[in-house]
Structure 1
């Protein structure tokens, strides 16, 4: 894989883990305003997930890289994102499978797993490249990144 340069997130944690992966998926944006993107089409997405924390587990990992791959690649590779009704739908723009929303969902999925592990690791950034020239960076709110609920 070619060395990538990513935007960085300032954080107070001792460890930062980055996992690169790609997955092929189809989608369409269920809006008349989406132009040609309202038609079913596919991408080879490239994702970089950044996780930070202070505590390692009993194997010396912040998080096992293979777990992050299972959470993202194994779930979405060779699927239609619109078929993942738990995360995406046509009922609200925040549920359309746009690159912005997919990046947010990936972060939420990873964070849910981290919360279940109880080690206080945080998913602090997801970079999702849809094409060679277009990508989105998603970062949860500051409070969420540092383990607190965001304020409304």
Structure 2
């Protein structure tokens, strides 16, 4: 199996309103997110690629237009925008466009990652 990944960055705020009041994530706060999308294929295309990285530009456009410098609770319409759920949202966006999408990872901090992989 061949695998490729590409990384994207954006900054946004969120608030986990369902957590206890004394939990730091219950307060409005923001992150410098890193999103990593993984695509996999058993065979390479005629150009020797799983997929040309340039074809992932719609993901960058969506991240820049819909997520960057936004309040994610408003973007997704609920108060449980965790890294895990964000990974699934990005995965769904990618899978609808590129069948080779195999996983999405999201980082909120340099030491933490959440992944969605069916």
Within the candidate set 50, 55, 65, 2:56 is matched to 65
The total of aligned residue pairs comes to 113
> Structure 1 runs of 4+ off > 4 angstroms?
54-57
C-alpha distance in 2 between matches for 1:33 and 1:106: 27
Structure 2, unmatched stretches of 5+, are none
Aligned to 1:101: 85
**Structure 2: distance between partners of 1:30 and 1:126:** 25
Determine the structure 2 residue equivalent to 1:3.
none
Q: Secondary structure at the match of 1:37?
A: helix
Deviation at residue 27 of structure 1 after TM alignment: 0.2
SS of structure 2 residue aligned to 1:32? coil
Match of 2:25 among 30, 37, 41: 37
Computed over aligned residues only, the root mean square deviation of the Cα atoms, in angstroms, reads: 2.4
- Tell me the TM-score normalised to structure 2 length: 0.79
Contact conserved, 1:71 with 1:109, CA < 8 A, in 2? no
| Structure-2 change in CA distance of 1:123 and 1:71 (3 Å) | farther
Q: Provide the TM-score with structure 1 as the length reference.
A: 0.63
Greater relative CO (CA pairs within 8 A, separation 6+): 2
